[in-house]
Amino acid sequence: MYEKYFAELNDNQKLAVSSPEQTLIVLAGAGSGKTRVLTHRVAWLSEQCAVSPYSILAVTFTNKAAAEMRSRIEQLLGFPAHGLWIGTFHGLAHRLLRAHWQQARLEQHFQILDSDDQFRLIKRLLKANNIDDTMWPPKQVQWFINNKKDEGLRAKDLSYHSDNYNNTLINIYELYQTACDQSSLVDFSELLLRCYELLQQNTDVLNHYQQRFSHILVDEFQDTNTIQYAWLKLLATESTCLTIVGDDDQSIYGWRGAKVENIYRFQRDYPNPQIIKLEQNYRSTGNILNAANAVIANNDRLGKNLWTSGHDGEKITLYAAFNEIDEARFIAARIKDWCEQAGCRREIAILYRSNAQSRIIEETLLQSNIAYRVYGGFRFFERAEIKDALAYLRLLVNRNDDAAFERVVNTPTRGIGERTLSELRDHARSQFQSLWQAASFLVKQSHFSARANNALQTFLTLIDSMQQRTADLTLDDQIGLVIQMSRLVNAYEKEGSEKAHARIENLDELINAAAQYSNEDSDMTPLDGFLSYAVLESGETQGQADEDCVHLMTLHSAKGLEFPLVFMTGVEEELFPHQRSSEDLQRLQEERRLCYVGITRAMQKLYLTYAEYRRLHGRIDLHHPSRFIKEIPDDLVDEVRPKTTITKPFGHNIKQRSLRPSASSQQHSLGFRIGQTISHPKFGEGVILNFEGQGSQTKVQVQFADTGLKWLVAAYANLTAV
């Protein structure tokens, strides 16, 4: 079966796929077929070398990539590859922890703490321990803890100095870990560290997997961090066959601890690897590829030369939008053009540097009736109502899950006040108990007022009876009944608002998701499996693969993927390169690699857009085109200006390098300025977006809260400042 596919590879790819060497490194630029080599190699090993899929472990960076890799391999093989392990580092670590929870010193039904839950837990801990959260902001503490874990360090491995700031961080880390262990909660970084310790401390488990996985293959190797590398090194013995593929120009997770040096370290730790380079790009047109090459050439690097035998294709279109709304409308219009010329929506990606950029784009796509799907960012499973429902389910499997307890003990309200809760927390802390244990104990003692006691008792009984009544049900019925018994829906029905209505629909959608969920891992109950899936995989794999939707995602989550039509948006100084990165050379180079990743996602057509004014995080700033745009040779780019010379009234201001234009320089002759909130006698309140024309002919564009976007003749519009 496989042989006919082998012919589709170029010579170097063939060499890599069929290499008899024990250690193989494929180092090559974007779109040169690295991932293709990896999938073919799995098929080759299985078909030509009689290696059982059971002995193969393939690691990649996102769940979406993992799912695609599996389907591609099965297509090459012509049959389902049962027993083959493909996943992300996190997903695989999770799987191992489920299978060996006892040796990992976890409870069987341990739950995963997502980063929002982690943040809340840290916040509560700081408060409970009277730690000043202005000195030790929870976000910073969170970053500190995760960073140490990614380095493989526990609190006990860190040394105290005379520095109080540092010492307190270490103490919080310790407190945090104790709280997690008590509640049997595992955060993302803990998955990796705990799994590493599991293997390191349990020789029998380690031996088993070392023997089982005779072949290990890793994609996107440039973005492995310390703990992932250590994990690999444990699993791969002297006799393991290792294939790693990567591109040092696409290392974009340095800020999260990824170490591109791991590529060089690997060559020391596994001597005499065969190194194969691929130089032909099969993904992008000549113009796109040349633009990418030109940008990345500005970094310090070893240097690779990518070429394509394909045609130059269209030039890259650069659109200077007036503001983010104009940018979004331009994109929507180009998408309509594409679809009218027989393209489909699923061929299109809109990429942005920061999640916050997606909202306006989403609104505009909605208005234009263009179906889209957001990957990552604010995900379905992160919505408040969904997390509430999941918290009930988590309590069913683990009563000691304090994060879940806190979340739903009074949601919907059942008369359990902050005072009762704070007594509960105090008791729990002093007795080293979970909130559930403390509540059970104190209720029995009739510790609280009769009302509070009753309310708590009702909650405890509710959870117990949820468990009894759902024990024999299928997963979706189980979840349906829990939602019903929780009375979450009733609470929203009472609220009656549009938003509440949407929340009810989302809860229905959760039941649908459960009905579609299939659990292949026999080490977990369906409910455990589903709860883990909700945290680990939801953002990337949600939605039907065959849905015809435009893809929206950050540049970071686009890596490894490709789309015929790509919009790279917000290509502005301060935003991209990100403000925090522009002064630090290392970080700036990482941003440039991110730009390279973005450009090289495009196969046929690439649009770059930037806005002169952008409202972000509640303020309007004047932006300049990104330096990355200037790094692309002019002859590869077609520049489009908006039809009207919209910046005319403040043209003198555009060159000025200022973050926030002062009100006077922005002021239009009519006394209004862009970004100002005004009121109109008929249309109500709105925000000024744009001016056009001069004197009595001046028109003003306003985004009204109720009636949307309108152009008005300023002289007659009767606007008043709000």
What residues line the site for ligand ATP (CB under 6 A)? 8-10, 13, 28, 30-36, 247, 250, 282-283, 560, 562, 600
Instruction: Choose the one of ligand ATP, Mg ion, none that binds residue 31, judging by a C-beta under 5 to 8 angstroms depending on kind.
Output: ligand ATP
Residue 429: C-alpha distances to residues 186, 402, 423, 619, 644 (Å): 20, 12, 10, 42, 65
CB of 131 to ligand ATP, least distance (A): 43
**Distance from CA of residue 364 to its chain's centroid?**
22
Task: Say which entry of ligand ATP, Mg ion, none residue 247 contacts (CB below 5 to 8 A, set by partner kind).
Answer: ligand ATP
**Edge to edge, what strands does the sheet with 85-88 contain?**
85-88, 56-60, 215-218, 241-246, 23-28, 274-278
Six token digits for residue 481: 């009944």
What's the min distance (Å) between Cβ of 307 and ligand ATP?
A: 13
Q: What are phi and psi of 609, to 5 degrees?
A: -130, 145
| Residue with Cβ nearer ligand ATP (29 or 480) | 29
3-state secondary structure 165-191: HHHHHHHHHHHHHHHHHHHCEEEHHHH
Which partner, Mg ion, ligand ATP, none, binds residue 9 by CB below 5 to 8 Å per kind? ligand ATP
Question: 65 vs 514, which CB is nearer to ligand ATP?
Answer: 65
From the list ligand ATP, Mg ion, none, partner contacted by residue 513 (C-beta under 5 to 8 A by kind): none
Query: For this structure, is 219 an active site residue?
Result: yes
- Partner from Mg ion, ligand ATP, none contacting 10, C-beta within 5 to 8 A by type: ligand ATP
**Buried-exposed string 673-704: b where 16+ CB fall within 10 A, e elsewhere:** bbbbebebeebeebbbbbbbeeeeebbbbbbb
Residue with smaller CB distance to ligand ATP, 30 or 97: 30
Identify what 64 binds: Mg ion, ligand ATP, none; CB under 5 to 8 Å per kind.
none
Instruction: Give 599 or 702: the residue with its C-beta nearer to ligand ATP.
Output: 599
Based on the residue annotation, tell me whether 233 is a catalytic residue of this protein: no
3-state DSSP call for residue 576?
Answer: coil
Task: Tell me if residue 429 is catalytic.
Answer: no
Q: Closer to ligand ATP at the Cβ: 306 or 335?
A: 306
Establish whether 35 is a catalytic residue.
Answer: yes
Stretch binding Mg ion (CB under 5 A), from 71-79, 137-145, 205-213, 557-565: 557-565
Q: Which of 219, 247, 406, 590 is catalytic?
A: 219
- Catalytic residue selected from 114, 190, 220, 528: 220
Binder of residue 282, out of Mg ion, ligand ATP, none (CB less than 5 to 8 A by kind): ligand ATP
| Closer CB to ligand ATP, 377 or 560, in the complex | 560
Count residues binding Mg ion (CB under 5 A).
3
Q: Is 601 a catalytic residue?
A: yes
Identity of the residue, 61 or 650, whose beta carbon is nearer to ligand ATP in the bound complex: 61
For the bound state, the minimum distance from the C-beta of residue 276 to Mg ion, rounded and expressed in Å, comes to: 15
27: tokens are 């180092």
What's the min distance (Å) between Cβ of 31 and Mg ion?
8
CA 240 to chain CA centroid, Å, is 32
| Residue ranges in 33-62 that form contacts with Mg ion under rule CB under 5 A | 34-35
CB of 189 to Mg ion, least distance (A): 25
Question: For helices 164-183 and 115-128, what crossing angle results, to 10°?
Answer: 120
In the complex, minimum distance from the CB of residue 281 to ligand ATP, in angstroms, rounded to a whole number: 7
Residue 703 interacting partner from Mg ion, ligand ATP, none (CB closer than 5 to 8 Å by kind): none
Which of 6, 43, 10 has the alpha carbon at shortest distance from 276? 10
Which of 595, 233, 140 minimizes the C-alpha distance to 132?
140
Residues 323-342: x where in contact with Mg ion by CB under 5 A, - otherwise, as a string: --------------------
Binding-site member from 29, 138, 560, 598 for Mg ion (CB under 5 A): 560
Distance CA 640, CA 620 (A): 23
Q: Based on CB atoms, which residue is closest to ligand ATP, 75 or 490?
A: 75
Q: CA 511, CA 478: separation in Å to the nearest integer? A: 9
Question: Active-site residue among 23, 35, 604, 698?
Answer: 35
Stretch that binds Mg ion, among 164-172, 538-546, 553-561, 703-711 (CB under 5 A): 553-561
> Which of Mg ion, ligand ATP, none does residue 569 bind to, with CB < 5 to 8 Å depending on kind?
none
Residue 640 is classified by DSSP as: E
Distance CA 247, CA 27 (A): 6
To Mg ion, the closest distance from the beta carbon of 561 in angstroms equals: 9
Cis-peptide, bond into residue 681, ω within 30° of zero:
no
Helix (H) or strand (E) holding 45: helix 34-48
Helix (H, G, I), strand (E, B) or coil at 548: coil
Shortest-Cβ-distance residue relative to Mg ion: 35
Q: Give the position of tokens 């060996």.
A: 100
Does residue number 577 form part of the binding site for Mg ion (CB under 5 A)?
Answer: no
The neighbour count for residue 85, using CB atoms within 10 Å, is: 22
Contacts of 533 (CB under 8 A, 6+ apart): 517
DSSP-assigned beta bridge partners for residue 422: none
- How distant is the alpha carbon of residue 74 from its chain centre? 27
Residue with smaller CB distance to Mg ion, 247 or 324: 247
H or E segment at 691? strand 684-692
* Cβ contact 554:356 at 8 Å: no
Of 35 and 358, the one with the shorter C-beta distance to Mg ion is: 35
Match 């080293």 to its residue by tokens: 432
- Of the listed 41, 601, 605, 627, which one is catalytic? 601
Rounded least distance, CB 247 to ligand ATP, Å: 5
Catalytic residue among 13, 34, 353, 600: 34
What type of residue sits at position 358? S
> Is 34 an annotated catalytic residue?
yes
Counted residue by residue, the chain has a size of: 722
Helices (H), 537-669: 538-541, 585-599, 627-630, 651-654, 663-666
* 13 binds, options ligand ATP, Mg ion, none, Cβ within 5 to 8 A by partner type: ligand ATP
Query: Which positions are annotated as active-site residues?
Result: 34-35, 219-220, 250, 601
Give the residues lining the site for Mg ion (CB under 5 A).
34-35, 560
